[in-house]
């Protein structure tokens, strides 16, 4: 089993944060005079790093300090909204325990800032299962660019073809596929038909870790 690794996106995979991110994004945008449609959220924001979508929203170049300021403003808003409701995607801890027993190396590969990663790990208690955690600071280009999953494979010392990625967003699935990774769609944000992956799960009670491996062996 340890000839494969599992790489998990965070938002929409480990925790179903997207409804809360949507609220925070819209409130942040409205504060600065912008209105975000559902299509804009899916195509221009979900899966991307803050430094990418914030510059696109304001439609001007920004200094790293500005991007960091606006990014943390939005993320602090998100954490305040979500903290009382945070819960892992159903079945995740049991799934991680099984994968760990099977000797499957696991990592997180997310476009989120480290402040949000720490927030999620603190409230779910699952950090111990992951040998590597890569966040937005580890990439130059956000999803759908494959950089995040190529970098995850490197730190795991595994070929991308043996790093099974769990993704909920269209840009994330495109990123995983472009990196050469098998991708499991997690249908928290999109339907199975929209995700278009060989394997789709609604949550982590639907398939065991061993079944996931078998599906891509």
What pLDDT, in 10s, does the model give residues 20-31? 988 999 999 999
Q: What is the pLDDT of residue 37?
A: 87
φ/ψ (deg, to 5) at 56: -65, -40
- List, in sequence order, the alpha helices (H) in the chain: 18-31, 38-40, 50-58, 64-82, 92-101, 114-124, 147-156, 170-179, 192-195, 209-215
Three-state DSSP class for residue 86: coil
Separation CA 210–CA 198 (nearest Å): 16
Separation CA 34–CA 147 (nearest Å): 30
Q: Among candidates 32, 57, 29, 33, which has minimal Cα distance to 43?
A: 57
DSSP state of 88: B
What pLDDT, in 10s, does the model give residues 63-92? 999 999 999 999 999 999 999 999 999 999
Reported pTM: 0.86
**Domains of the chain, each with CATH number or no CATH:** 5-16+87-215 (3.40.50.1000), 18-84 (1.10.150.240)
Under the banding of pLDDT at 50, 70 and 90, the label for residue 166 is: very high
Give 134's strand partners: 109
What pLDDT, in 10s, does the model give residues 110-164? 988 899 999 999 999 999 999 999 999 999 888 999 999 999 999 999 999 999 9
Neighbours of 38 (CB within 10 A): 8
């Amino acid at each position: 089993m340890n000839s494969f690794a599992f790489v998990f996106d965070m938002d929409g995979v480990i925790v179903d944060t997207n409804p809360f991110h949507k609220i925070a994004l819209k409130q942040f945008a409205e504060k600065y005079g912008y209105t975000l449609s559902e299509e804009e959220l899916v195509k221009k924001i979900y899966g991307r790093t803050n430094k990418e979508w914030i510059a696109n929203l304001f439609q001007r170049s920004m200094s790293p300090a500005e991007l960091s300021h606006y990014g943390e403003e939005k993320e602090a808003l998100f954490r305040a909204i979500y903290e009382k409701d945070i819960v892992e995607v159903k079945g995740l801890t049991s799934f991680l325990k099984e994968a760990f027993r099977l000797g499957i190396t696991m990592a997180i590969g997310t476009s989120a800032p480290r402040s949000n990663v720490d927030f999620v790990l603190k409230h779910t208690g699952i950090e111990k299962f992951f040998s590597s955690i890569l966040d937005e600071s580890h990439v130059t280009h956000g999803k759908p660019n494959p950089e995040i999953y190529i970098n995850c494979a490197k730190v795991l010392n595994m070929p991308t073809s043996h790093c099974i990625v769990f993704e909920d967003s269209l840009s994330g699935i495109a990123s995983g596929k472009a990196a050469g990774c098998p991708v499991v769609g997690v249908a928290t944000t999109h339907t199975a038909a929209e995700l278009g992956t060989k394997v789709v799960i609604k949550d982590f009670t639907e398939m065991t870790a061993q079944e996931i491996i078998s599906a891509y062996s």
